[in-house]
Structure 1
Amino acid sequence: MTIVETKLFLRDPSAPITVLGIPLALLVVFGLIPSANEPSPDFGGNSLLANLIAPLAVAILLGMLAVTIFPTAIATYREKGVLRRLSASPASPRLLLTAQLLVNVAAALVVVLLIVGIGIAVLGVEAPGNPAGFVISVVLGAASLFCIGLLIAALAPTGRAAGGIGSAVFFPMLALGGVWVPKEHLPTFLQWAADALPMGATYNAMRSTWAGGAPEPVQLLSMSVFALLCAVLAARLFRWV
């Protein structure tokens, strides 16, 4: 099942191009700006690429896969009756759900490694100063965002509805999470959202760990709570038909 879903994922050029192209293009375009890779006191001695752009590319990648592409695929299967037919066969619909998760998580892992590898080897971006903290931030962030996507997939009756709900969740999280505008530049009354929402918590935790610091407790708590809460709700509300 996972092999079949992988082939279907790669056969549709829009998903791989979007998942691979947007984050890497963002990194490379900013990497071509000479001043982007110079240490700056505004970023604690780190460069713009290391402090903002590379974590931004990873956050956008995780968000696109988890909140829009993954739930749209599952909801499309529901809309076309694939889940209903699988429920009457020896292949449990849960296998399809697991296969979809594995494919999307694997795609995320590959692109994250490419972003970090190309950034360090080709563009001269500093390596994450706290590698363990960075990995923890990526794993918890991916878990929270994919569980949100799972909840969307549990509720959306059609692929178009899942895409609409995903976009309605994705773009506000970008704006309020300090992704488009760094959280320190947000209005004071909105800065709490940058660490309380899962997208912002993921992005800002990666920023901190790339600079050699540690994720803030509120960021870790946010990602953990969203992952647990959305997973429980999705399990209770998920419909196969």
Structure 2
Amino acid sequence: MSVLTKLTTAEAKVFLRDPGAPAIVVGIPLALLLVFGLLPGVNEPDPEFGGHSVLATFIAPMAITILLAMLALTLFPAAMGTYREKGLLKRLSASPVPPSLLLAAQLLVNLAAAVAVVVLIAGVGGLALGIPLPGNPGGFLLSLVLGAVALFSVGLLVAALAPTGRAASGIGSALFFPMLALGGVWVPKEKLPVFLQHVADVLPLGGTLNALRATWAGDAPELLQLGAMAVFAIGCSTIAARVFRWE
């Protein structure tokens, strides 16, 4: 068994041992889907959403996007900040195990949790609420992967700079909630002023949400959304690699 596999297994056990993290990761997206899904008329064709249901082209993509953002911007940076605060990263830096493997293991655990919950949302949505699968599966997968990379790159930058777990959680929350407001979560992008619609598409959370919305409806994601997510992914990960501190 490789060192990365052992570290990933250990990090997965730590993640699952804390009942709060799995409950939040699974509970909040599913609660959003089920609560909104039980409202009358949300699964009926809506002219404001191109003849598609609100549930399929807004609520389900929103639940997935919020899941990715919570993992990337709060839970992942907080875990790395806590390891730095407790001196674990410093001790690893003096061992034969590269500290970067711990970072990779953390990313793998969080991404695995994200994939599991996305599958769960699609399954529950389809079986319990009758939500159709994405109409553009290739574009949906591309948007999902690029959005996850962009959001986790932002989280990596937070983890690179935050000295403690509490600081990382605070910084992540300070990024998370404004992105909800400006990204088209609290108010659908179409109802925002024109200028803010472009802002929603270039923010990593808003770009992910709106690209998933488009592909779930069978359309192609906009190049602005894909390009913005790629820029955030490359820019934030590059900066994080330069400024990351192990102690």
Shared fold (TM-score, shorter chain, > 0.5): yes
Tell me what 2:141 maps to. 135
Aligned residue pairs, count:
241
Counterpart of 1:94 in 2: which secondary structure?
Answer: helix
Q: Unaligned regions of 5+ residues in structure 2, if any? A: 1-6
CA distance in structure 2 between the aligned counterparts of 1:69 and 1:92, rounded to whole angstroms: 22
Instruction: Tell me which moved more, 103-112 or 32-41.
Output: 32-41
1:190 corresponds, among 191, 196, 199, to 196
2:58 corresponds, among 49, 52, 57, to 52
Tell me what 1:43 maps to. 49
Tell me what 2:130 maps to. 124
CA distance in structure 1 between the aligned counterparts of 2:17 and 2:193, rounded to whole angstroms: 44
Alignment of 1:79-118 (within 5 A): 79-118=85-124
Percent identity over the alignment is 67
2:228 corresponds, among 222, 228, 239, to 222
1:27 has 2:33 as partner: yes
Counterpart of 1:122 in 2: which secondary structure?
Answer: helix
Q: Following TM superposition, where does structure 1 have runs of at least 4 consecutive aligned residues deviating by more than 2 angstroms?
A: none
Q: Measure how far apart 1:44 and its partner are.
A: 1.1
Instruction: Tell me which moved more, 38-47 or 153-162.
Output: 38-47
Tell me what 2:162 maps to. 156
CA distance in structure 1 between the aligned counterparts of 2:46 and 2:222, rounded to whole angstroms: 23
Q: Unaligned regions of 5+ residues in structure 1, if any? A: none
Q: Measure how far apart 1:187 and its partner are.
A: 2.1
CA distance in structure 2 between the aligned counterparts of 1:144 and 1:189, rounded to whole angstroms: 22
Counterpart of 2:52 in 1: which secondary structure?
Answer: coil
CA distance in structure 1 between the aligned counterparts of 2:142 and 2:127, rounded to whole angstroms: 22
- CA-based RMSD: 0.8
Q: Measure how far apart 1:76 and its partner are.
A: 0.5
One-letter amino acid matched to 1:83: L
One-letter amino acid matched to 1:64: M
TM-score (normalised: structure 2):
0.96
Q: 1:149-194 deviations in whole A, cap 9, x for unaligned?
A: 0000000000010001000111111111111111111123322111
CA distance in structure 2 between the aligned counterparts of 1:102 and 1:90, rounded to whole angstroms: 21
Tell me what 1:16 maps to. 22
CA distance in structure 2 between the aligned counterparts of 1:33 and 1:174, rounded to whole angstroms: 22
Q: Measure how far apart 1:212 and its partner are.
A: 0.4
CA distance in structure 1 between the aligned counterparts of 2:44 and 2:244, rounded to whole angstroms: 48
Counterpart of 1:157 in 2: which secondary structure?
Answer: coil
TM-score (normalised: structure 1):
0.98
Q: Measure how far apart 1:48 and its partner are.
A: 1.0
CA distance in structure 2 between the aligned counterparts of 1:159 and 1:88, rounded to whole angstroms: 22
One-letter amino acid matched to 1:101: L
1:208 has 2:175 as partner: no
CA distance in structure 2 between the aligned counterparts of 1:224 and 1:179, rounded to whole angstroms: 21
One-letter amino acid matched to 2:180: L
CA distance in structure 2 between the aligned counterparts of 1:233 and 1:13, rounded to whole angstroms: 33
